[in-house]
């Protein structure tokens, strides 16, 4: 299926790798994203060149749902990390004992939200 993820979210999620593999392009994309320009095409070209998949690790699912652990009546509080600057649509489910993911665009930890 042709699911086009938010390019800014994809950049945010993969920036660490991109900064190592293609530092110049990575910084250009960051500058573009900060200015609000459309970085989709350039990002996919770069990922293609580096043989990387176009994924945003956006994950809206709860890691362990009540149905999966069979715990009916348990409180399923869905905690998600979101982009602190709300610059991108990256969302990551909170994983037990895992440190807060970092928004690589802003260089700060992502914000924990509950729903
Ligand atoms: Zn971000």
Burial track 84-99 (b if 16+ CB lie within 10 A, e otherwise): beebbbbbbbbeeeee
Report the domain count for the chain. Answer: 2
Domain-located, residue 66: no
Domain-located, residue 54: no
Gap from CA of 1 to ligand 1 centroid (Å): 25
Q: Which domain holds residue 88?
A: 72-114
Gap from CA of 67 to ligand 1 centroid (Å): 30
* Residue 109, SS3 per DSSP: strand
Domain-located, residue 79: yes
Domain-located, residue 86: yes
List Cα–Cα distances, 83 to 6, 14, 111, 112, in angstroms.
13, 14, 6, 9
Q: What is the pLDDT of residue 52?
A: 83
Mean pLDDT across 107-115: 90
* Ligand 1 ion: nearby residues, β-carbon < 5 Å: 12, 83, 88, 90, 103, 105
Domain-located, residue 77: yes
Q: Are residues 77 and 45 in the same domain?
A: no
Q: Are residues 13 and 45 in the same domain?
A: yes
Mean pLDDT across 92-111: 89
Domain-located, residue 1: no
Digit-coded pLDDT (tens) for 43-90: 999 999 998 876 555 555 544 444 444 444 455 677 899 999 888 889
* Residue matched to tokens 């807060």: 100
Domain-located, residue 88: yes
pLDDT tops 50 at residue 11: yes
Q: What is the mean pLDDT of the chain?
A: 80
């Amino acid at each position: 299926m042709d699911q086009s993820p938010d390019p800014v979210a994809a950049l945010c999620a993969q920036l660490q790798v991109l900064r190592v593999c293609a530092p110049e392009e990575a910084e250009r994309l960051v500058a573009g994203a900060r200015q609000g320009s459309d970085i989709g095409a350039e990002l996919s070209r770069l990922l293609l060149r580096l043989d990387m998949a176009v994924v945003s690790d956006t994950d809206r699912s709860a890691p362990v749902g009540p149905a999966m652990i069979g715990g009916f009546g348990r409180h399923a509080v869905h905690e998600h990390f979101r982009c602190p600057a709300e610059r991108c649509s990256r969302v990551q489910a909170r994983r037990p004992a895992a440190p807060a993911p970092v928004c690589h665009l802003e260089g700060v930890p992502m914000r924990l939200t509950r729903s």
